[in-house]
Amino acid sequence: MSKQQKYLLAIDQGTTSSRAVIYNEKLQPLAQQGKEFKQHFPNNGWVEHDPEDIWETTLHSCREAIKEAEIEASALGGIGITNQRETTLLWDRKNGEVLHKAIVWQDRRTADYCQQLKDKDLEPFFQKRTGLLLDPYFSGTKLAWLLDNVEGARERAEDGELCFGTVDSYLLWRFTKGKVHATDASNASRTLMMNLETREWDGELLEKLNIPASLLPEIRDNTSDFGYTDKEWLGAEVPICAMVGDQQGALIGQACIEAGMLKSTYGTGCFALLNTGQDIIRSDNRLLSTLAYQLDGEAYYALEGSIFMAGAIIQWLRDSLGMLEEAAESEALAEDIGYEQSEIMVPAFTGLGAPYWDPDARAAILGMTRDTSREHLAAAALRSVAYQSLDLVHAMHNDGQKVEALRVDGGMTENDWFLQALADITGCPIERAAISEATSFGAAFLAGLQSGMFKKLSDISELHKVDKTFKPEISSEQRDKLRSVWLAAIDKVR
Ligand SMILES: Nc1ncnc2c1ncn2[C@@H]1O[C@H](COP(=O)(O)OP(=O)(O)O)[C@@H](O)[C@H]1O
Ligand SMILES: O=P(O)(O)OC[C@H](O)CO
């Protein structure tokens, strides 16, 4: 990296939008651009993205951010890519043509296939090898579905003509014009195909899922020389220095780099990751063991609780019920609704994630009366995210992990009322990060680590700042009472 190359570009390709942020050497954001794209729901429980939308919105955001920062792409010392995880793509190795829309992490189409594998008693095997469970959430069964349902795909895959990738790999392929087919260990750990201990593709897992190895990208460290963007895209060849799954990106962006530190990101879904250091902690409470980050070949792990609906519930109030113009209005609406409210929402719109893993559960609002108003529904919606977080904290406690505080980020954390409810209901102090984009902050930091702008992982601790802490204000008796009502509601939807 030359002296002139003093900026970093972080690309955050998320579920609902693609974003690009330019950072300076002190990791201060100089420019930020983003673009939403269409969600496709072609069937009950199916969610797809058009790969061209993923690419176009990403490229557009990068170009606009570079313009806004008033720099040339040649001044970029490196790019860090962070992305929605598990979302599955399949394309032609020669011409890059995609065979199908991307199957999104939220998509439930492989629920029956997962059940068939469970009926063969294979879940303990998958769990041991991958740290994951047999749920449609992960990429492996989505890829198997593509091979079985797209005409000719299996034959072409067996002939070595096709490439599989999660969004990181796909963007890398597009940016390098097909020169590099690689992924990073954090993204690979979400596929059901990577052995969590060796961090290599596992032949036995591939055999059980009937997936040809020739499809798979090379697995690398999170920081690596991933290749250069073709000049056509940004006007200069820029090195891609880091790739990381978005939740692992936020773990780094929140400086949770010591065992025992936890971050929880509230975007479309909510993902709580507890750093467990170099040990793989095996959950007895249906949490996931996953790769946190891999640097210089050394792996660090996390225990993860994944919730499928968080900010997406507020989107539902806004877009499907027309109850809000903007997500932010939910805060003023909920403001006067106390814990005596009788309404309780279980947001199992796409089944339930951790710790229930029930793809067939469906959402409900219980305890409504003639007095139930928009205000009550907004409060019940926001509190439902806090109750789901409480389930995760409990599961972590039961796995012997002490949760001292939650470092939070993501779109929903702009809502102070929600964060106070989160503190009350979980009983944990909630620390909101000063930068709302912890995900891209983490990706940019990793890119800076690879390009030499930063020296060591622990440099992130000095860069991370807390904006505000929310402390629990209700008694533990009241918390226990609220939890028992929540658990009764969960029982009703299962
Ligand atoms: N003030 C708010 N209160 C509650 N939810 C909000 C607020 N602002 C944004 N959200 C929710 O946060 C989500 C967007 O967060 P973001 O971190 O951008 O998500 P993603 O990375 O998954 O696309 C949306 O689902 C939106 O409904
Ligand atoms: O796009 P997000 O921020 O909702 O993140 C999605 C997760 O990576 C899914 O595992």
Ligand 1 pocket member 329 (CB < 6 A): no
Residue-level pLDDT at 435: 86
Ligand 1 pocket member 314 (CB < 6 A): yes
Q: How many whole angstroms separate alpha carbon 191 and alpha carbon 154? A: 18
18-21 long-range contacts (CB < 8 A, ≥24 apart) are 18/54, 18/57, 18/58, 18/60, 18/61, 19/61, 19/437, 19/440, 20/58, 20/61, 20/62, 20/64, 20/65, 21/65, 21/437, 21/440, 21/444
The per-residue pLDDT for range 316-347, each reduced to its tens digit, is: 999 999 999 999 999 999 999 999 999 999 99
Residue-level pLDDT at 2: 60
φ, ψ for residue 193, nearest 5 deg = -120, -10
pLDDT at 4 over 70: no
pLDDT at 290 over 90: yes
Residue 150 three-state SS: coil
pLDDT at 96 over 70: yes
Q: How many whole angstroms separate alpha carbon 93 and alpha carbon 99? A: 11
Ligand 2 centroid vs 380 CA: distance in angstroms?
23
Ligand 2 pocket member 411 (CB < 6 A): no
More confident residue, 221 or 308: 221
Residue-level pLDDT at 1: 58
Domains recognised in the chain with CATH numbers: 7-246 (3.30.420.40)
Contacts of 193 (CB under 8 A, 6+ apart): 130, 139, 140, 201, 202, 205, 206, 209, 211, 216
Residue-level pLDDT at 359: 81
Of the pLDDT bands very low, low, confident and very high (cuts 50, 70, 90), residue 268 is: confident
Ligand 2 pocket member 304 (CB < 6 A): no
Q: How many whole angstroms separate alpha carbon 105 and alpha carbon 85? A: 7
* DSSP letter assigned to residue 73: G
What is the percent of the chain where pLDDT is above 70? Answer: 99
Ligand 1 centroid vs 412 CA: distance in angstroms?
5
Ligand 1 pocket member 328 (CB < 6 A): yes
Structure tokens at 402: 């002490």
Ligand 2: residue of 37, 106, 186, 247 to mutate (most ligand atoms within 8 A of CB) is 247
What is the percent of the chain where pLDDT is above 90? Answer: 92
The CA–CA distances, whole Å, from 49 to 102, 141, 144, 310 equal 5, 17, 18, 20
Contacts of 118 (CB under 8 A, 6+ apart): 134
The CA–CA distances, whole Å, from 46 to 41, 87, 104, 111, 460 equal 5, 12, 8, 11, 38
Q: How far from the centroid of its chain's Cα atoms is residue 318's Cα?
A: 22
The per-residue pLDDT for range 152-211, each reduced to its tens digit, is: 999 999 999 999 999 999 999 999 999 999 999 999 999 999 999 999 999 999 999 999
- Whole-model pTM: value is 0.94
Q: Which amino acid is at 149?
A: N
Q: Which atom of ligand 2 is nearest to the CA of 137?
A: 10
For range 230-252, the mean pLDDT? 97
Q: Which atom of ligand 2 is nearest to the CA of 269?
A: 4
Q: From atom 2 of ligand 1, which residue's Cα is the shortest distance away?
A: 328
* Closest to 158 (Cα-Cα) out of 169, 173, 148: 148
pLDDT at 351 over 70: yes
Residue 209 three-state SS: helix
Residue-level pLDDT at 75: 94
pLDDT at 5 over 90: no
The CA–CA distances, whole Å, from 90 to 72, 125, 159, 161, 181 equal 33, 26, 14, 11, 12
Residue-level pLDDT at 126: 97
| pLDDT, averaged across the chain | 95
The CA–CA distances, whole Å, from 290 to 189, 233, 277, 303 equal 6, 33, 11, 6
Query: What DSSP letter does each residue of 452-480 carry, written as one string?
Result: TSS--TTHHHHH--EEEEE---S-HHHHH
Q: From atom 10 of ligand 2, which residue's Cα is the shortest distance away?
A: 85
Q: What angle do CA 444, 449, 454 make, to 5 degrees?
A: 100
Of the pLDDT bands very low, low, confident and very high (cuts 50, 70, 90), residue 3 is: low
Q: How many whole angstroms separate alpha carbon 356 and alpha carbon 45? A: 18
Ligand 1 centroid vs 325 CA: distance in angstroms?
14
Ligand 1: residue of 412, 435, 437 to mutate (most ligand atoms within 8 A of CB) is 412
Q: Which amino acid is at 177?
A: K
Q: Which of 44-58, 217-231, 354-368 has the lowest mean pLDDT?
A: 354-368
For range 80-88, the mean pLDDT? 97
Q: Which amino acid is at 170?
A: Y
Ligand 1 centroid vs 451 CA: distance in angstroms?
32
Residue-level pLDDT at 33: 97
Ligand 1 centroid vs 45 CA: distance in angstroms?
21
Q: How many whole angstroms separate alpha carbon 252 and alpha carbon 457? A: 9
Q: From atom 10 of ligand 1, which residue's Cα is the shortest distance away?
A: 412
Nearest ligand to the C-alpha atom of residue 82: 2
The per-residue pLDDT for range 375-391, each reduced to its tens digit, is: 999 999 999 999 999 99
Ligand 1 pocket member 56 (CB < 6 A): no
Q: From atom 4 of ligand 1, which residue's Cα is the shortest distance away?
A: 412
